[in-house]
Amino acid sequence: MNPDNSLLGIRGFLIDAPEFGRLRSWSDGALIIDGAHIVEVGDYASLARKPREQPVRWRHSPRSAVFPGLIDLHAHIPQYPAVGRGGGELLPWLRQHVFPLEREFTGPKGRREAGAFFSELARHGTTTAMLYTAIYEDSCEAAFHAAAASGLRVIMGQMMTDVGSYGQLQPTKIASILNHESERLCRAWHGAADGLIEYAFSPRFAVACSERLLRAVAKLAAESGAYIQTHLAENLEEIEKVRNQFPAARDYTDVYEMCGLLTARTVLGHCLHLSEREIGALAAAGAGVAHCPTANLFLRSGLFPLEKMRAAGLRIGLGSGVGTGPELNLWQVMRSAIETQKARSFYEADALVPTPGAALHMATQGAAETLGKGAVIGSFEVGKEADLTIMDYAALLPYRQSAKPVNDLSGEDLTSLCIHRGGPHAVVETFVRGRSIFRAPEPELF
């Protein structure tokens, strides 16, 4: 609540994507926010004239572009320092670049890095993130403290892996210890910070987990109501290993299915190489998918079959895939989602090339629905919580074009501009639940 009982008015070029492919915009629009919630949406001229009992503190200008806060469904905090390194495929890349970093993500160094990550998200206009930490309880705990202090909406969990952990033959931790620690972290943090913080049980992937661990995760998640996140069918060598490790399973998805991990609160990263049966099993369980196109191109893992996944009715959102994905910038992830399908369209007649509105949907409302939060965040509806990212779009135009009127841009043009040139250099302010969690210094005009 605002101490003076005033309302917050955000003025700008409002754009959201309430449905896949449907863009909605108000070229000189406004949001009226009362505490945490959006209470009015519309044209600035009519909202500014409207008589109200409470005063409105107006912020920003028609020169800002206002989008729903961006939602990142997949990133690993300990891997962030390794982004952009190496050019191999998944399993060698993990051994060479990631495991050494994750092994060190404990003690003072791990705790310091865990704390620094969240301001990076807010600076990129990300308001909700689903994250993995490492296998250590101390750095995971530190990450939760930092997440709560940041004001972001965060779903996160301790990495769980008990087979060949971190490239070594002997596991660093056995399943029972991991289960105990994750259960304790979940009890301490699931629903913390007035519900902004939630827990996700986070087994790395079937290759690195015993059946015992996976079954325990299903039980812990069911008991607590927490999320589950893991990886599925990212890379062909990974799939082959799963086939050898779990000979009784029909396929990779069946490993998770038989252990009880496929639920409506499960988000599966990547999902590139799935059979019709597997896609059907995900859909039947209501599981969500984190599509990570920059990550999939970086490690040459594969090209996401968007039209097949959508046709099955799966809920799909985008993930930066950091550290496999080289950056937290979800505008670049949207661009990559479009370009991935453009590339497929040369040989796949049914490829579904997302419009800018469809890409924005996957980074906002679609991702919110993937998390089961479609009625709470993701678009500009009255009654939703006010998670927003505000961009200075003059910063994205060639020569900034700051002196020129920009009202010749349509909502589609402006979204496309953000997708192809957007990033933290243009983010002016980020809000979660009506509260500013990042504000850039005033932009220089020339």
Q: Which parts of this chain interact with Zn ion (CB under 5 A)?
A: 269
Q: Which is nearer to Zn ion, 79 or 415 (CB)?
A: 79
Q: Which is nearer to Zn ion, 64 or 296 (CB)?
A: 296
Check whether the bond before 323 is cis (ω within 30° of 0): yes
Torsion 311-315-318-323 (CA) sign: negative
Q: Which is nearer to Zn ion, 294 or 364 (CB)?
A: 294
Q: How far is the CB of 149 from Zn ion (least distance, A)?
A: 25
Residues with Cβ within 8 Å of residue 251, at least 6 apart in sequence: 243, 275, 277, 278
Q: What is the DSSP string of 5-66?
A: -PEEEEEEEEEEEEETTEEEEEEEEEEEEETTEEEEEEEHHHHHHS--SS-EEEE--TTEEE
Distances from the Cα of 203 to the Cαs of 64, 103, 178, 340, in angstroms? 41, 16, 10, 28
Tokens of 47: 């909202």
Which H/E stretch holds residue 146?
A: helix 137-150
Q: Which is nearer to Zn ion, 41 or 75 (CB)?
A: 75
Q: How far is the CB of 92 from Zn ion (least distance, A)?
A: 16
Q: How far is the CB of 230 from Zn ion (least distance, A)?
A: 9
End-to-end CA separation in angstroms for the chain = 37
Q: What is the DSSP string of 92-132?
A: HHIIIIIHHHHHT-SHHHHHHHHHHHHHHHHHTTEEEEEEE
Q: Which amino acid is at 385?
A: E
Q: Which is nearer to Zn ion, 110 or 269 (CB)?
A: 269
Q: Which is nearer to Zn ion, 7 or 267 (CB)?
A: 267
Q: Which is nearer to Zn ion, 269 or 423 (CB)?
A: 269
Which 3 state secondary structure label does DSSP give 148? helix
Alpha carbons 299 and 288: distance in angstroms, whole number:
22
Alpha carbons 433 and 92: distance in angstroms, whole number:
41
Q: How far is the CB of 8 from Zn ion (least distance, A)?
A: 36
Alpha carbons 138 and 175: distance in angstroms, whole number:
17
Q: Which is nearer to Zn ion, 269 or 434 (CB)?
A: 269
Q: How far is the CB of 204 from Zn ion (least distance, A)?
A: 8
Q: How far is the CB of 79 from Zn ion (least distance, A)?
A: 8
Q: How far is the CB of 234 from Zn ion (least distance, A)?
A: 8
Q: Which is nearer to Zn ion, 30 or 140 (CB)?
A: 140
Give the single-character DSSP code of 443: P
Q: Which is nearer to Zn ion, 37 or 241 (CB)?
A: 241
Which 3 state secondary structure label does DSSP give 287? coil
Q: How far is the CB of 14 from Zn ion (least distance, A)?
A: 33
Contact call for residues 338 and 354 (beta carbons, < 8 A)? yes
Q: Which is nearer to Zn ion, 59 or 74 (CB)?
A: 74
Q: How far is the CB of 231 from Zn ion (least distance, A)?
A: 5
Characterise 157 by phi-psi region: left (phi > 0), alpha (psi -120 to 50), beta (else).
beta
Q: How far is the CB of 269 from Zn ion (least distance, A)?
A: 5
Q: Which residue is nearest to Zn ion (CB)?
A: 269
Q: How far is the CB of 75 from Zn ion (least distance, A)?
A: 8
CA-closest candidate to residue 320, choices 60, 16, 71: 71
Alpha carbons 71 and 362: distance in angstroms, whole number:
9
